[in-house]
Chain A
């Protein structure tokens, strides 16, 4: 009886897949499964209008990247869970994303809802690419956290900076300011920044109050502000409050040198259209406007595709607020993975820290804290809104950029309201 040293056909067949896996392990190449990008979005609850738009935009990027052949030769998949605008459930969702779904890249959008999940993300040493979050890394100082909304290194100050810088250059110089905002995290941060700038630039604060998030009628608030006759009125408000404050201001014929600031909701089509001419003169923050000073390669096409993809879905019909930075956050990860040919969080984080990325939202460079190295929160003014026609918001000059100087596209018209 002789024994053959040659493996049997059965042994060869069993060994082949194992050998194949061993040859290709250790790099992204050749792994057959898809690369998974996963995260949470507020698809229901109070921030659903942000989350649904972010999801639609991520889906656009997913189609694009897979059309280009995926990443590292592998298809790309999105695994998105609804955080219900409820921060308390995000740790559980990220545990599932990391341990069960085994996602390769973590992405997220929607204010600071992921904050409770950050200790877990840090413990697992995962890279987190967030968006629309303010000062989230101030406490954690995590080197693999990145955030796409252009707050820059001093997030809390940036929402108000443009408003006060513009006011400081007016002649005659305004003397007094009223501060009002919702009693919630975003608005409190905006108001904190406003207080700092008012102090820095020498404006006297004559009214400084917040209102509960479920405030229904704003006429009493606006009348109380009008009674102290401030030159400037800075508001930090959420969508429904922004509408309430502006309507109440119009009803009592409020007059001020400048009114606006950090009012959420005025960036999207629905409120711009509903309030229509009432918003002329309002000075408010934006992230992107189709002004001549903000023409970035690929932006126009991406927005056109977003509008086509989301038509009739009850989402923001303009796409200036959430889509640019959402698409850009995915582009940053895509470019980092393609350049480093790696999915390792450490390698990617190091690369992202030292690289300037070309995105639809312009050139993006991150600072040590994972925020944009240079802030780019725009302060703008509605000047030529006429009727409810959506197309006017695509026209330069309807809403001009006042600050920062680099993107300025028009001069402020005072007082508020224009022609009032």
Chain B
């Protein structure tokens, strides 16, 4: 029943992984990593780990923000 949705999530993970490997710009890499994390969430929810899903949804953007502090542009 949910096989189509899970297959779509696998496609999302593979697309994000491929784009994160082959992109050169760090912002493009972060965008691809965000697509990859979006593909992981239906697998967490499908098994019923809703508290884990809530915690991951609130912690994963923090890691992205900490990575953004490294690759920000220098003010001229």
The answer to whether A and B belong to the same complex is: no
Q: What is A's interface to B at a CB cutoff of 8 Å? A: none
Q: What is B's interface to A at a CB cutoff of 8 Å? A: none
